[in-house]
């Protein structure tokens, strides 16, 4: 809910409380009108008191069913907001983020956890429940400022908290990459078109690399140009993290997208231990034959030696079932395309069917 001053054609200024939680503007309560903007302040004060009152204990009017229902649901929304502030605010402080002397940072973090919506919806949330009057452009500019001025402190606080949670022992780290696209036409020095994990290949994007600990506690992050190969993002972040906190031994866990010969050689040269995901189709013929010759049951695993490394091969009934379903689903779609006479090689490639079918 928020306070709105509405000027009518006859010149009167109406002070109202408006709700847009359903997607449409709804006048919840009116507080009168005046002919001069300067005279509206007492009405605005009454409206604010009305909103503040609903953040606390409510007295319900049981004699009027419609009024009671309206008051009851208003109180639920208010209690939910206050509850989020009390619970999440305490966690925010316990982690140590209260050391960042920036009230807007706190509000944005709590809003993101309690109400994970778009930047535009976030500004509406902040105005409705916190009376923070920001537009979308201000929010974006603030996030730029936050990244340039508070990034290192945020990472340090998160690291210290994680260290405490894990009994001063961080020796296993997990790395992954995602892409974030922008609804813009032109590229710049950072936002560039590249391989999009969201399928938005026509949109400029950035590449985001995230380092987390056991149980998923965040440790560090970095952003890269949108056209940067994800395999070239891992070691810069890991090296910087190890150097910043003077760590001597780290075991790195990452998925198959980061498995490249150059990465493996560099990891070995720098003395890192690592576990990287791998794909059978990327192995040579000899290794494939060894893997396919295995007779593993659900949950069983085997080790195959490969050029000084160890391939750990496991079998899962659930994964086999899922892969079989996807193959059969893809085959059914292709059969429909054939019957319609619309099947081309491009259909197979664009849909990713070339992973399991040959045109």
What pLDDT is stored for residue 24 in this prediction?
Answer: 66
Q: Is 310 helix (H, G, I), strand (E, B) or coil?
A: strand
The pair of three-digit structure tokens given for residue 188, joined into one six-digit string: 């710049």
* Paired strand residues for 244: none
First to last CA, the chain: 58
CB atoms under 10 Å from CB of 170, counted, come to: 19
Residue ranges in the chain whose pLDDT is less than 70: 9, 20-24, 53-83, 342-359
173, 263, 304, 324 from 283: Cα distances, Å = 26, 16, 12, 21
Q: Give the span between the Cα atoms of 354 and 350, in whole angstroms.
A: 9
What pLDDT is stored for residue 81 in this prediction?
Answer: 57
What pLDDT is stored for residue 237 in this prediction?
Answer: 92
Q: Is 296 helix (H, G, I), strand (E, B) or coil?
A: coil
What pLDDT is stored for residue 60 in this prediction?
Answer: 45
Q: Which CATH class is domain 172-277?
A: alpha beta
pLDDT in tens, 52-79: 766 544 454 444 445 444 544 454 455 4
* Paired strand residues for 16: 4, 30
What pLDDT is stored for residue 208 in this prediction?
Answer: 93
Strands 13-19 and 26-34: antiparallel
Q: Give the span between the Cα atoms of 247 and 251, in whole angstroms.
A: 11
φ and ψ at residue 333, rounded to 5 degrees:
-65, -40
Nearest to 198 by CA among 186, 218, 182, 211: 182
| pTM greater than 0.75 (yes/no) | no
Q: Give the span between the Cα atoms of 21 and 128, in whole angstroms.
A: 9
pLDDT in tens, 312-333: 999 999 999 998 998 888 888 8
What pLDDT is stored for residue 315 in this prediction?
Answer: 92
298, 321, 326 from 318: Cα distances, Å = 9, 5, 12
Q: Are 115 and 62 in contact (CB under 8 A)?
A: no
Q: Give the span between the Cα atoms of 96 and 98, in whole angstroms.
A: 5
CB atoms under 10 Å from CB of 228, counted, come to: 17
The pair of three-digit structure tokens given for residue 206, joined into one six-digit string: 């950035």
Nearest to 143 by CA among 115, 117, 109, 178: 109
């Amino acid at each position: 809910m928020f306070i709105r001053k509405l000027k009518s054609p006859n010149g009167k200024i109406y002070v109202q409380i408006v709700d847009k939680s359903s997607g449409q503007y709804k006048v919840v309560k009116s507080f009168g009108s005046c002919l001069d903007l300067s005279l509206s302040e007492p009405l605005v004060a009454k409206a604010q008191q009305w909103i503040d009152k609903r953040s606390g204990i409510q007295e319900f009017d049981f004699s009027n069913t419609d009024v009671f229902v309206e008051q009851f649901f208003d109180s639920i929304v208010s209690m939910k907001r206050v509850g989020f502030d009390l619970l999440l605010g305490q966690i925010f402080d316990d982690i140590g983020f209260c050391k960042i002397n920036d009230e807007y940072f706190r509000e944005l973090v709590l809003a993101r956890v309690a109400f994970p919506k778009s930047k535009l919806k976030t500004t509406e949330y902040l105005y409705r429940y916190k009376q923070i009057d920001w537009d979308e452009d201000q929010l974006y500019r603030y996030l730029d400022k936050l990244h340039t001025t508070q990034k290192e402190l945020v990472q340090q606080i998160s690291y210290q908290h994680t260290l405490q949670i894990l009994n001063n022992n961080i020796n296993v780290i997990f790395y992954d990459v995602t892409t974030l696209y922008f609804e813009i036409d032109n590229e710049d020095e950072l936002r560039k078109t590249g391989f999009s994990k969201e399928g938005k290949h026509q949109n400029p994007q950035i590449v985001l690399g995230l380092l987390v600990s056991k149980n998923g506690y965040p440790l560090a992050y970095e952003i890269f140009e949108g056209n940067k190969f994800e395999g070239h993002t891992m070691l810069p972040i890991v090296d910087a993290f190890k150097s910043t906190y003077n760590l001597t031994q780290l075991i790195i866990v990452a998925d198959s997208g980061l498995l490249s010969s150059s990465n493996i050689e560099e990891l070995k040269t720098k003395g890192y231990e690592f576990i990287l995901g791998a794909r059978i189709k990327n192995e040579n013929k000899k290794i494939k034959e060894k893997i396919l010759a295995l007779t593993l049951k659900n949950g069983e695993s085997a080790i195959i030696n490969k050029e000084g490394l160890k391939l750990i091969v496991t079998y899962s009934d659930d994964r086999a079932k899922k892969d079989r379903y996807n193959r059969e689903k893809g085959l059914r779609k292709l059969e429909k395309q054939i019957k319609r006479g619309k099947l081309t090689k491009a259909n197979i490639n664009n849909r990713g069917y070339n992973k399991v079918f040959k045109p």
